[in-house]
Structure 1
Amino acid sequence: MNARTERKTIPIQDINEASNCSSAEPYALMVLGDSMLPEFAEGEIIVVEPSGLVKDGSYVVAFVNDEYIFRQIVKHDDGWMLEPLNPVYENIPVADIDVAKGVVIMKKNPGKRSEQKRYI
């Protein structure tokens, strides 16, 4: 990659802890990678509600294994899982829904002005 196309990762913990915004205010993130295909493509923008209601099937930003990740939280008989939509990636078992730090409420494709989808 050259300097113009190189992407940098911005830890979202900085957004929540060091921002002038209230921790309860929604924020936007860009989807990186293909773990949430086909529903969420790389480059799409997701809007995250930090105080949103987490329930079975919610798309969430979660903090596990010392990092933030974007997954779907799903209840199984043996507990909760953070599941990618792309079957190439593995499920991550979690103790409970407290790992979820925000619920995705909307996505927008920045290349298509009118293309957006709500999840609430």
Structure 2
Amino acid sequence: MSEFPEVKIEIPGQEQQDDSSLSSCSSSEPFALQVLGDSMEPEFPDKCIIIIEPNDKCSNEAYVMADIEGSRWFRQYMNDDKGERLVAVNSEYPDIPLEGLNWKVEGIIVQRNIKRDIKHYEIY
């Protein structure tokens, strides 16, 4: 999967930790992450805060946090005539085709906060 640049995530107010620290939250509680990088711009600019609702299902065009073969990705889920894939909002980043990969949705983005400008997203 090295051909796809991975979006870095950090927990605001905490030093960078390994992925095991994310599993310490209740699996049913929403949590916040900070976006690092430009792969989801302009909808989710660098350093904006996103709220993720843990869920293993999503609808077409939902913004999701997904695990693909052990790496976490923040992308938009698409399932159409081009197939099932994860798409970066920034067109400079390639799509991630999901066919044949071991992957799962870990959560759905339900809100973003850009300098207190809050936008909500529907889960389904």
TM, length-normalised to structure 2: 0.76
CA separation of 1:62/1:52 partners in 2, compared to 1, >3 Å: closer, same or farther? closer
Structure 1: unaligned runs, 5 residues or longer: 1-7
CA separation of 1:119/1:22 partners in 2, compared to 1, >3 Å: closer, same or farther? same
Matches within 5 A, 1:17-96: 19=24, 21-51=25-55, 53-95=57-99
Q: Aligned partners of 1:10 and 1:76: how far apart in 2?
A: 36
Q: Residue 86 of structure 1: SS of its match in structure 2?
A: coil
Q: Which residue of 2 aligns with 1:15?
A: 22
Report the alpha carbon displacement of residue 15 of structure 1 after superposing the two structures with TM: 1.0
Tell me if the contact between 1:82 and 1:93 (Cα under 8 Å) persists in the aligned partners: yes
Q: Aligned partners of 1:11 and 1:116: how far apart in 2?
A: 28
Q: Which residue of 1 aligns with 2:112?
A: 107
2:118 partner letter: Q
- Count how many residue pairs are aligned between Structure 1 and Structure 2: 107
TM, length-normalised to structure 1: 0.78
Q: Aligned partners of 1:87 and 1:78: how far apart in 2?
A: 16
CA separation of 1:85/1:52 partners in 2, compared to 1, >3 Å: closer, same or farther? same
Structure 2: unaligned runs, 5 residues or longer: 1-14
CA-based RMSD = 2.2
Q: Which has the larger radius of gyration?
A: 1
Identical pairs, percent: 37
